Amino acid sequence: MFRLLSTVKKEFLILFRDKAGLGVLFIMPMVLVLVVTLVQDSAFRAVKETEIKLIYLDNDRGTFGLSLERGLNEAGNFSLTKKIHGKEVDEKILREKVSKGDFQIGIIVPEGASRKIQEKAIEMVKKTIFQGSESTSKNSKEDSQPLEIEVYLDPAVRKSFQNSIISSLNGFAANIEKRSVLDVISREFSGNGRETKKEEKKNYREPLVKIREIYAVPESLSITPNAVQQNVPAWTMFAIFLIAIPLAGNMIKESKDGIFLRLRTMPVSYPTHILGKIIVYLCICMIQSVLMLLVGIFILPALGTEILVMGSNYPAMVLIALSSGLAAAGFGVMLGTVAGTQEQASTFGAISVVVAAALGGVMVPVFVMPEFMQKISVISPLSWGLKGFLDIFLRDGNLLVILPNAIKLLSFFVLTMFISGLRSKLV
């Protein structure tokens, strides 16, 4: 019994002396729970609880356009913008802003919409009451077409959220339709209460307003955004950053086993030794990227999904993949020099990558996160890489478009190597 108690005491002493290890064991899991729960909480809430950035162009300036604008404002979940830098938006600016991802949705109400919907409401009521009459049979097919409201969608927004947004807009349009029809009925039959009640019970199945969904992508781009194009780059970034864990563990093992000291006695400088590691793991990252893309092109379609369409900007893809790989390798080297044990490196590395993935939009879109989480998400390297891939896959981005995110990733690599260099000198 005494030996058992002594063993227990020894293990507690060893554990409590490892302050960094205790932090990894207790603090990091709490951080993981907090971040992932806050991020995913927004995904489980209804879209009506999430603020959606919307840019609005009202060419109608009549009752329909004003009613739709009022409904969007009163809904509480749309942040509606009509002016950019003090100037009224036009169709070109609206499309450009949505295409860049500055807004999740853009709505264009066509000129004369109020007049057209009023005419169609009158036509619908007369057709319903006087079915088969000469006045209604002469209506052309063109006149019977519903009024089209153009809705531009950010191609990077996931399909489930797009469907929820369109559903909300259809609800607003249906309410306006109903009011228009009832107003016509009230005016046409104000003198006949019985007939009014009878017609109010009619089921008007023909829609007066049709929401036309348009992806805000260049006209030359024939790519339709889908789950494959959004998920493959997201989880590719996650896979790339996971290499930090074995890289850090490898460095710590070399240090503990004395291999690193023996290497230092050879005519090879420390930077050269580290550079060799970075090159190897960078090659692994590139292979990972290619394999993940091949999964999207061949395996996923075989399982019933759509095929991954990547566009034609291959130099941009290579640049963002290389930048992401260097950032991940730099993080691994920093982890290997800062962590004291393999357990610390593996636990901290795994949790930090998951947290960065959650913040970076890998698990749920950034725009549905709480506002303060959206502000924090800009510091996630996975967010920079993911934005770069999405700009290429969904927005036909070129080298200039993805360059800012590539520079951020390379700057992160330089920062991690600087910290690693300082740490190695201190040790």
**pLDDT digit string (tens) for 259-298?**
666 766 777 677 887 888 899 999 999 998 999 888 888 8
Residue 38 falls inside a structural domain: no
- Do both 198 and 288 map to the same domain? no
Read off the pLDDT band of 421 (50, 70, 90).
Answer: confident
Residue 77 falls inside a structural domain: yes
Residue 198 falls inside a structural domain: yes
- Do both 112 and 164 map to the same domain? yes
- Do both 92 and 110 map to the same domain? yes
- Do both 228 and 189 map to the same domain? no
Whole-angstrom distance, CA of residue 60 vs CA of residue 69: 11
Residue 12 falls inside a structural domain: no
**pLDDT digit string (tens) for 7-38?**
666 656 765 776 665 565 567 556 655 665 56
**pLDDT digit string (tens) for 308-354?**
888 778 999 999 999 999 999 999 999 999 887 888 888 888 889 99
Whole-angstrom distance, CA of residue 86 vs CA of residue 404: 27
Residue pair 57/94 in contact by the 8 Å Cβ criterion: yes
- Interval 109-115 mean pLDDT: 85
- Do both 300 and 403 map to the same domain? yes
Of 178, 175, 172, nearest to 124 (Cα)? Answer: 178
- Interval 366-379 mean pLDDT: 82
DSSP string spanning 129-163?
HSTT-HHHHT--TTTTSPEEEEEEE-TTS-HHHHH
Q: What is the pLDDT of residue 335?
A: 92
pLDDT above 70 for 225:
no
pLDDT above 90 for 241:
yes
**pLDDT digit string (tens) for 160-207?**
677 777 887 787 777 777 777 777 676 666 555 444 444 444 444 455
Q: What is the pLDDT of residue 408?
A: 96
- Do both 204 and 270 map to the same domain? no
- Do both 381 and 420 map to the same domain? yes
Higher pLDDT, 137 or 315: 315
The whole-chain average pLDDT of the chain stands at 78
Coil, helix or strand at residue 55 = strand
Residue 27 falls inside a structural domain: no
Q: What is the pLDDT of residue 133?
A: 46
Q: What is the pLDDT of residue 362?
A: 85
Q: What is the pLDDT of residue 264?
A: 65
DSSP string spanning 339-400?
-SSHHHHHHHHHHHHHHHHHHTTSSS-GGGS-HHHHHHHTT-HHHHHHHHHHHHHHH---HH
What's the domain range around 401?
A: 224-426
Read off the pLDDT band of 386 (50, 70, 90).
Answer: very high
Residue 35 falls inside a structural domain: no
CATH number at residue 93: 3.40.1710
The number of distinct structural domains making up the chain is 2
Final residue before a domain boundary, out of 215, 235, 256:
215
Q: What is the pLDDT of residue 146?
A: 73
pTM as predicted: 0.70
- Do both 146 and 197 map to the same domain? yes
Read off the pLDDT band of 382 (50, 70, 90).
Answer: very high
Q: What is the pLDDT of residue 202?
A: 46
Angle (nearest 5°) at CA 122 between 119 and 125: 150
Whole-angstrom distance, CA of residue 194 vs CA of residue 197: 5
User: 358: which residues sit within 8 A by CB, 6+ positions away?
Assistant: 35, 36, 39, 40, 364
Final residue before a domain boundary, out of 215, 247, 282:
215
- Do both 247 and 102 map to the same domain? no
- Do both 255 and 293 map to the same domain? yes
- Do both 109 and 210 map to the same domain? yes
pLDDT above 50 for 134:
no
Residue 292 falls inside a structural domain: yes
Q: What is the pLDDT of residue 325?
A: 95
Higher pLDDT, 49 or 350: 350
Q: What is the pLDDT of residue 324?
A: 96
- Interval 141-164 mean pLDDT: 74
Final residue before a domain boundary, out of 169, 186, 215:
215
pLDDT above 80 for 46:
no
Residue 196 is encoded by which pair of tokens?
Answer: 């009014």
- Do both 200 and 233 map to the same domain? no
Residue 30 is encoded by which pair of tokens?
Answer: 């709490």
CA 289 to chain centre: 19
Q: What is the pLDDT of residue 23?
A: 64
